[in-house]
Amino acid sequence: MSADDWLNHILWDDKGLVPAIAQDYKTGQILMMAWMNQESLKLTQQEQRAVYWSRSRARLWRKGEESGHVQKLHSLHLDCDADVILLKVEQMGGIACHTGRPHCFFKRLHDGQWLEEVAVVKDPKEIYTHE
């Protein structure tokens, strides 16, 4: 049995990806969803910080590499169908979303409209200075 045998238990999609949900390890708040490939998941486990696969950039993306809002890994979980990863993390800096909010799920459907329920903590222009 190889040291990376645990990766073979995951049902990767046809592009070699699996959805990954980041959850605050203390509060249970869902912070964000992203994608991982085998390399990013292996690096997440090795580095004890969230490393995702950016589909738009087609490259590895260490959460916080530009913003400083690193996700420190506390534990990894695999769902019952082996096709979704859950990362329980400590969100450094309190901002997980590129919009400058604490999490990405800030819109709630109400009377057929999406209402923004969570305020921006920090303007993304101040977070991402070179975009």
Structure confidence at residue 69 (pLDDT):
94
Average pLDDT of the segment spanning 86-98: 96
| Domain annotation covers residue 122 | no
| Domain annotation covers residue 78 | yes
| Domain annotation covers residue 26 | yes
- Integer Cα distance of 12 and 8 in angstroms: 9
For residue 3, how many C-alpha atoms fall within 13 Å in the half-sphere facing its CB? 3
Determine the 3-state secondary structure of 82 from DSSP: coil
Question: For residue 55, what is the domain's CATH number?
Answer: 3.10.20.810
| Domain annotation covers residue 80 | yes
- pLDDT tens-digit profile of 94-111? 999 999 999 999 999 999
CB contact at 8 A, 55 and 47:
no
Work out how many domains the chain is built from and give that number: 1
H-run or E-run covering 31? strand 30-36
| Domain annotation covers residue 45 | yes
Give the range of the structural domain holding residue 49, as residue numbers without chain letter.
5-93
- First CA to last CA distance, the chain: 44
Which are the contacts of 108, defined by CB distance < 8 A and separation ≥ 6? 114, 115, 117
Structure confidence at residue 131 (pLDDT):
46
- pLDDT tens-digit profile of 47-67? 999 999 999 999 999 999 988
Structure confidence at residue 130 (pLDDT):
59
From the CB of residue 86, how many other CB atoms can be counted at a distance below 10 Å?
Answer: 16
- Beta strands 18-24; 85-91: pairing state: parallel
| Domain annotation covers residue 65 | yes
| Domain annotation covers residue 32 | yes
| Domain annotation covers residue 126 | no
